[in-house]
Amino acid sequence: MPGPHASIYIRLIYHKTTTIDTKMAFYLIVTTTCLIIFVYFVLNKRTKGSKPLNLPPGPPKLPLIGNIHQLAGLLPHRAFRDLAQKHGPIMHLQLGQISAVIISSPQLAKEALKTHDIALADRPNTFASELVLYGTTDVALSSYGDYWRQMKKICTLELLSAKRVQSFGPIREQELDRFIEFLRLSCGKPINIHKTVTKGINNVVCKASFGKNCKQQHALLEFLDELARVNSGFYVADLFPDFKFLYVVSGLRSKLMKLHKTLDKIFDDIFEEHEGRRKHGEPQEEDLLEVLLKIKEEDGLEFPITNNNIKAIFVDLFGGGTDTSSTTIEWAMTEMIKHPSVMEKVQQEVRKAFHGKTKITELDTQGLSYLQLVIKETLRLHPPIPLLLPRVCREQCKIGGYDIPIKMKVIINAWACSTNPEFWEDPEDFRPERFENTLIDFKGTHHHYIPFGSGRRMCPGITFGLVSVELFLAQMLYNFDWKLADGLNSINIDMMETEGMLAAKKVHLYLIPTSYAPCI
Ligand code: HEM
């Protein structure tokens, strides 16, 4: 038991501490009040006249990382759809230092891409695109403005118009002959569908671009794969753009520099060879490089273009033109192997249409209506770019009643829209017949089905992409019967997608072709 002295001591100490505490509390209150007043005045000055923002709701955020942990280990389009089921079709997420709004319903996608198309027409700038796209002077990731408008016009009217795409018909037919010949020689052996088709499609893009196959095709395809992977915008270094050292410590900087150097050398060699042919007065095919060089030499362009700008455009044409189409073909073949009745129905259609023809041309594929439904359904369930390309808000606007401030990144989950149960019956089922007798098309006006995007930043390569997909699929299904390698079962096919901008099939599909006409 403490004696009386002890209690005096306790009271003294108590008295002393309380006086100290009271004094401290007083100073603390004064300092805090001054701080609050200071912050209030600073903020008030900055936002004078503006009401507080009514941002969309979203899941709780952790300090520094925000909502990154909710995406960890998941594919962003799937993670966003799951979060949207809890937090609504418009959500605000903090992804490190990036403030983003995610839109997951067709109604709100329409508001964003139609009503506020101009306000949301900008793209975010990533470190990868700055470095690899020659200061982001391409079309796909370039900032909205007069330069982008000029280049998009060139792309739409000169490089990818229906007439130009049609003029490449002989190139496609020639490449297809080689592709079919390769498959004939491989009859009875398992084929990596993605690798084989990607090579064929890329040959078409190379010949259309430069008038010949690309010598360093392997390096070029590797570059495109890597770029799609690291330029998704979800790379840690891109989520913390102020921490520049992350690009260095993550190895991203050196990897991209190396990739860029390889790519630049490939382009320089191609340009030099092309220039050489021009100097020697050799007749030039109207390939896309020739078209762009002529435009470059013309007077009267608002923004004169350089060789580096042309190289940036070719990265878009190769990136947009190769993997999106080969990914679509691989998913279509996968779904048909899983649904043999669909494959049989397409084969019947194709074999009836091509019956007795020694040479199949693009005109012959035009009446293949069931094949078109299969392609539509494949792009609904497996849009190659499920989150489209991100937009950035350039004028404050309202979507779904919420404020979208300037600089906010806006991500449209096109895959969530095209699998939305309010718009699609049994959305997870592969059923091409659902498109029968409907007017739903790829033109970006039906916002529950936007595999090519919508609005000003919509894909200009629809015709180019679809012609190749139709032709390759029609020929593959006309000339061959397909089965899985022995011991594999269509029920167990791995349907996982790759990470990055492109949702390709992660585990590639291997199929064995057998010739429809007996194997040679
Ligand atoms: C199956 C084939 C294809 C699919 C699914 C596809 C899909 C897309 C998507 C979703 C976008 C973003 C649209 C948006 O943000 O609203 C896009 C943009 C773009 N695509 Fe494609 N694409 C395909 C083929 C092609 C081809 C063949 C080319 C060129 C050879 C191409 C070149 C471009 C370009 C340049 C852009 C950027 C447009 C801009 O920002 O203004 N695409 N594509």
Say yes or no: CB of residue 465 within 6 Å of ligand 1. yes
State the CB neighbour count (10 A cutoff) for residue 243. Answer: 13
- What are 178's two structure tokens? 């080689």
Which of the four pLDDT bands, split at 50, 70 and 90, describes residue 33? very low
Give me the DSSP letters along 313-363.
HHHHHHHHHTHHHHHHHHHHHHHHHH-HHHHHHHHHHHHHHTTT-SS--HH
Total-model pTM? 0.89
Strands 98-103 and 409-412, by their bridges, are parallel
φ and ψ of 182, to 5 deg: -60, -45
Torsion of CA 211, 212, 215, 216, to 10 degrees: 50
Say yes or no: CB of residue 453 within 6 Å of ligand 1. yes
- What are 35's two structure tokens? 């701080």
**Rounded distance between C-alpha atoms, residue 128 and residue 256, angstroms:** 7
**Rounded distance between C-alpha atoms, residue 282 and residue 300, angstroms:** 27
Which residue among 459, 497, 502 is best mutated to probe the pocket of ligand 1, counting the most ligand atoms within 8 A of its Cβ? Answer: 459
459 is in an annotated binding site: yes
pLDDT digits (tens, 9 = 90+) for 64-91: 999 999 998 899 999 999 999 999 999 9
Does residue 97 contact residue 404 with C-beta atoms inside 8 Å? no
Top pLDDT among 370 and 236 is at 370
> Which residues, 6+ apart, have CB-to-CB distance to 186 below 8 Å?
513
Q: What is the pLDDT of residue 23?
A: 52
Does residue 305 contact residue 343 with C-beta atoms inside 8 Å? no
The Å distance, Cα 377 to ligand 1 centre, comes to 18
Say yes or no: CB of residue 458 within 6 Å of ligand 1. yes
pLDDT at 362 over 50: yes
Which of the four pLDDT bands, split at 50, 70 and 90, describes residue 114? very high
Which of the four pLDDT bands, split at 50, 70 and 90, describes residue 252? confident
Which of the four pLDDT bands, split at 50, 70 and 90, describes residue 328? very high
Question: What's the topology of domain 73-79+108-519?
Answer: Cytochrome p450 (1.10.630)
Q: How far is CA 407 from CA 19, 84, 147, 402, in A?
A: 51, 22, 20, 15
In the three-class reduction of DSSP (H, G, I as helix; E, B as strand; rest coil), residue 277 is classed as helix
Q: Give the burial string for 11-36 (b: 16+ CB within 10 Å, else e).
A: eeeeeeeeeeeeeeeeeeeeeeeeee
Q: What is the pLDDT of residue 414?
A: 98
Say yes or no: CB of residue 92 within 6 Å of ligand 1. no
Least confident of 2-6, 104-108, 217-221, 242-246: 2-6
The Å distance, Cα 465 to ligand 1 centre, comes to 9
Torsion of CA 349, 469, 390, 106, to 10 degrees: -10
Does residue 209 contact residue 165 with C-beta atoms inside 8 Å? no
